[in-house]
Structure formats: structure tokens, C-alpha cells
């Protein structure tokens, strides 16, 4: 039997540990439905830029092919979705860090586009989606005439 001296500070935590715990509970918590056997969801990283003619969306989808990617445009809502298949379970992994599961992103477009003329290309794991702006929104140049 060991006798230990009681210390009031033994169970106290530092302010830094308390703040770390607060932020972890607030921001790092797993979303509902995550856990063993649940479908994992990852937010798809995208870059978006505009030109005078179109909105261009670049999305990184490593490990997928063009057939694995779904693109939907309904009104002003653009959705890009794919699924990275899990690795084979017939191995005894020592380290397993690569993500798998559903990757998706939904964006609200702030300008009207012409979906009939949209083009999507997929090369080296990068999806490039070009959405031409609607004619009504394209900038018009007004010629100034001198007198």
C-alpha cells in the first residue's frame, strides 16, 4: 500500500489545456453519422475564378476518373460529388492515413450561367468546370463617340 500526499493542484489544468479542450469540443467534433461503419464525408477543396465570359471551378479529385464524378446544376446551386473507394481490407495495415469515402461540394453561384454550354474536363485528378455566364450578365462595352 502506497500513501500519496494530497495536492490541490494535481487535478487542476492549465488555462492553455482548458482552451485547447474548449476549441476541440467546439470545432473538432465529428459530425453526426461518423464512426465505425458510417459513410465518411469530406469537403471537396475547390478554386473558383471568373473571367469576362465564364465562371471556372477547379476541384482536386485524386484517385478518381471522369466516370466517378457527378456534377449537378440546379438553379444557382452547383454540386460536385465523387466517391473514393476504400482500400482493400485483405491487408494488415501498419499505417492507414489516406482518406476515402464521399467527397462533395455545393456552391451557390452569384451570377446566372448558361448550363447548356457548360464544359467539364478531367485531367491528372483535377476537374476543370467552365460555366459560361448568361448573355444578360456579360459586361457590355459602350463606345463613346466624340462630337
Q: State the pLDDT at residue 80.
A: 94
| Tens digit of pLDDT at every position of the chain (147 positions) | 667 676 766 666 677 777 777 777 666 544 444 444 445 567 888 999 999 899 999 999 988 999 999 999 998 899 999 988 887 778 888 887 777 788 899 999 988 899 999 999 999 999 999 999 988 765 667 788 887
Q: State the pLDDT at residue 18.
A: 76
Q: CATH number for the domain including 108?
A: 2.60.40.790
Number of domains the chain is built from: 1
Look up the domain containing 107 and give its range: 40-88+97-137
Tell me whether residue 117 is in a domain. Answer: yes
CB neighbour list of residue 138: distance below 8 Å, 6 or more residues apart: 52, 53
Q: Are strands 119-123 and 54-60 parallel, antiparallel or unpaired?
A: unpaired
Question: What is this structure's pTM?
Answer: 0.63
Tell me whether residue 9 is in a domain. Answer: no
Q: State the pLDDT at residue 119.
A: 95
Amino acid at each position: 500500500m502506497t500513501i500519496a500526499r494530497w495536492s490541490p493542484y494535481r487535478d487542476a489544468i492549465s488555462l492553455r489545456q482548458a482552451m485547447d479542450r474548449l476549441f476541440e469540443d467546439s470545432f473538432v467534433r465529428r459530425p453526426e453519422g461518423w464512426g465505425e461503419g458510417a459513410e465518411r464525408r469530406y469537403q471537396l477543396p475547390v478554386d473558383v475564378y471568373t473571367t469576362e465570359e465564364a465562371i471556372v471551378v477547379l476541384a482536386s479529385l485524386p484517385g478518381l476518373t471522369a466516370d466517378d464524378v457527378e456534377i449537378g446544376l440546379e438553379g444557382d446551386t452547383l454540386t460536385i460529388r465523387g466517391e473514393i473507394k476504400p482500400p482493400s481490407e485483405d491487408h494488415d495495415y501498419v499505417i492507414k492515413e489516406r482518406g476515402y469515402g464521399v467527397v462533395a461540394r455545393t456552391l451557390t453561384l452569384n451570377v446566372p450561367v448558361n448550363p447548356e454550354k457548360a464544359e467539364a474536363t478531367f485531367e491528372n485528378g483535377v476537374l476543370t468546370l467552365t460555366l459560361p455566364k448568361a448573355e444578360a450578365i456579360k459586361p457590355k462595352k459602350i463606345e463613346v463617340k466624340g462630337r
